[in-house]
Structure 1
Amino acid sequence: MKIKIDGNLTNWVPKRLVIAGYTAKDQEAAQKHIDELKELGVPAPPRIPMLYDLSPGLLTSEPSISVVNNDSSGEVELILLDLDGTWYVGLGSDHTDRVLEAVSIQKSKQVCPKPISQDLWLLSEIEGHMDQLEMRSWVTVNGEESLYQEGRLESFLSPKELLKIVDERGYSSSGLALYCGTPPIVNGEFIFGEAFRAELTDPILERKITLSYKTDILKIAEEE
């Protein structure tokens, strides 16, 4: 997989992919999100935050992904990447099958590729003002793009808190890609579109990371 270190493209082979869910600092807000998902048929988690262990081969920096049926959607997330002992920050989309999610959250995540940005920032460069960073995403449906999600990182557990939980639950951080949680959907409903775009904005250092990809629908096999 191609990522950029100091502006230079390099190959990186992740050893582990973990998606952290229900990572809000405000546990009441986390419970509200759980209740919203419950109404959409998604079962409540047994503990908060949840950690979903997935295949690192799902990670991709390609400009398009392929899925079965148009019933999956992206979720913008801050991601932490361990590259030879140094932590970097990037932007990812936890693309998820929403039909399968009602049966098994982990399976619904495992069946979809996980796009990530090629551009990364050193975690040490933003740790002091991380709460001020902003995430937004947009979905394109029938050629029209609309705002899908938005939120600030002050709403989430810090990387230090999340990595402590990851360690306490027995996950190795060597070569880890960790998705850190997603902001709320603007209108509260999943949107299934043909393209997804997201931004991570740093208003202090005046820079941003972008991520965009198209969703290709696979042809369904005919029944014999």
Structure 2
Amino acid sequence: MEFFVNGKVVKWEPKNLLIAGYTSKDQNSLREHIEELEKIGVAPPPAVPMIYQLSPELLCTDEEISAVRNDSSGEAEVVILEIDGEWHIGLGSDHTDRVLEAVSIQKSKQVCGKPVSKELWPLRSIEDHWDEIEMKSWYVVDGEERLYQSGKLAEFITPTELVDIIEARGYPVSEGAILCGTLPILSSEFLYGEEFKAELYDPRRKNRISLAYQIKILKDAEVV
């Protein structure tokens, strides 16, 4: 995989991929997110944050991913990647099969690609103003772009805190990628559309990272 860090090309392949869920510092927002999932039959988590280990091959910088039926959706998330011993921050989408999620959260995440931005920032460059970084996402549904998520990273525990929790639980992080949790959606229900867009904005440095990808719906198997 190729990434851009401070204008330079960095080639890197993940050895591990972890998805962190329920990482909000705000317990009210956390309960809202859990309630969103309960509406579609997802049981409350036994512990927070929850950590899901997935195949690193799911991580991609493709502009299109494939899904079975139009019942999967994306979620904007900070992604941190350990490259050559240093953590970097980018933008990812924990695209998830919402039907399968009611059966198994881990399986619902494993069946979908995880698009991430090609541009990364060294984590140390934004750690002192992590709380100020803004994150938004949009869904394009029938050609109409709708704001889907909006908030600041102040809502989440910091990457350093998250990595400490993950290591304490025995998960591998070396040369890995971690999706760090998502914002509550603004709509009353999940959206399913043809394109997902997201953005990280650093108001102090006036820098932004963008992510956009199309969702290709695979043709259903035909019964002969």
**Does the CA contact (< 8 Å) of 2:5 and 2:122 recur in 1?**
no
The offset of 1:168, in angstroms, is: 0.3
How far the C-alpha of 1:39 sits from its partner, in A, is 1.8
Q: Tell me the equivalent position of 1:86.
A: 86
Aligned-partner Cα distance in 2 for 1:6–1:204: 16
The reply on whether 1:165 has 2:161 as its aligned counterpart is no
Give the aligned partner of residue 43 of structure 2: 43
Bigger Cα displacement from structure 2, 31-40 vs 89-98: 31-40
8 Å Cα contact 2:29-2:184 kept in structure 1:
no
State the distance in 1 between where 2:21 and 2:197 align.
21
Does residue 32 (structure 1) correspond to residue 32 (structure 2)? The answer is yes
State the SS of the aligned residue for 1:30: helix
Structure 2 match to 1:104: 104
The number of aligned residues is: 224
1:1-46 per-position Cα deviation (integer Å, ceiling 9, x unaligned):
2211332333311000000000011223312321221122111111
1:120-142 deviations in whole A, cap 9, x for unaligned? Answer: 00100000000000100000011
Aligned to 2:150: 150
Q: Distance in 1 between matches of 2:5 and 2:209?
A: 13
Alpha-carbon distance in 2 for matches of 1:207, 1:221: 45
Q: Identify unmatched segments of 5+ residues in structure 1.
A: none
Are 1:59 and 2:59 matched, yes or no?
Answer: yes
Stretch of structure 1 that moved more, 117-126 or 164-173: 164-173
C-alpha separation in 2, matches of 1:174 and 1:70: 35
What whole-Å deviation, never above 9, does each CA across 1:25-76 have from its counterpart, x for those lacking one? 1223312321221122111111110001000000000111111100000000
Contact persistence 1:84–1:174 (CA under 8 A): no
Q: Deviations over 1:127-181 (max 9, x none)?
A: 0000000100000011111101111100101111101001101112211100011
Deviation at 1:102, TM superposition (A): 0.6
2:183 aligned residue: 183
TM-score by length of 2: 0.97
Could you tell me how far apart the structure 2 residues matched to 1:33 and 1:173 are? 26
Counterpart for residue 138 of structure 1? 138
The answer to whether the 8 Å contact 1:136/1:149 transfers is: yes
What secondary structure, in the 3-state scheme, does the structure 2 residue paired with 1:28 have? helix
Question: Is the 8 Å Cα contact of residues 199 and 210 (structure 2) preserved in structure 1?
Answer: yes
Once residues 180 and 131 of structure 1 are traced to their aligned partners in structure 2, the CA distance between those partners, rounded to angstroms, is 14
Amino acid at match of 1:24: S
The residue identity in structure 1 corresponding to 2:213 is: Y
The separation in 1 between residues aligned to 2:28 and 2:108, in whole angstroms, is 25
Give the corresponding residue for 2:217: 217
Q: Scaled by the length of structure 1, what TM-score is found?
A: 0.97
Identity, in percent, stands at: 55
The match for 1:77 is: 77
Q: CA RMSD in A?
A: 1.0
Deviation above 4 Å: which 4+ runs of structure 1?
none
Structure 2: which 5+ residue stretches go unaligned? none
Secondary structure of 1:120's aligned partner: strand
